[in-house]
Amino acid sequence: SQQGEEDPQALSIQEGENATMNCSYKTSINNLQWYRQNSGRGLVHLILIRSNEREKHSGRLRVTLDTSKKSSSLLITASRAADTASYFCATGAIGSGNTGKLIFGQGTTLQVKP
């Protein structure tokens, strides 16, 4: 089964509102990353949080990480219609030689209505 499980699977909000997505994972990790995918395109890296960090900000993005609960959240503040996309968490699992696999969750589809 996949390492990352995301919640909710789909989210629909009005422009200007905040969007929160959650990710849970199963094994020990080096880092956790969030990616965005526009329809029909490849994924684009948004932000990375290391296992020894608890919170990180980048523009309108805020990521938290709770390693005791094996969970992370992505908050997009003041959402825009252009934020409409699918969002995925990915975990850099600890493996032999520190070259663990990069495993993705199932994603959250966000729709921001103008």
Q: Under the rule (CB under 8 A), what is the footprint of another protein?
A: 2, 4, 6, 9, 30-31, 33, 35, 40-45, 48, 88, 90, 92, 97-107
- Among residues 7 and 15, whose Cβ is nearest to another protein? 7
CB of 3 to another protein, least distance (A): 9
d(CA 49, CA 64): 8
CB of 104 to another protein, least distance (A): 4
Neighbours of 47 (CB within 10 A): 17
DSSP state of 41: S
CB of 109 to another protein, least distance (A): 10
Closest CA to 65 of 46, 49, 88: 49
CB of 111 to another protein, least distance (A): 16
- Among residues 2 and 18, whose Cβ is nearest to another protein? 2
- Among residues 20 and 100, whose Cβ is nearest to another protein? 100
- Among residues 33 and 84, whose Cβ is nearest to another protein? 33
Q: What is the 3-state secondary structure (H, E, C) of 45-109?
A: EEEEEECCCCEEEECCEEEEEECCCCEEEEEECCCCHHHCEEEEEEEEECCHHHCCCEEECCCEE
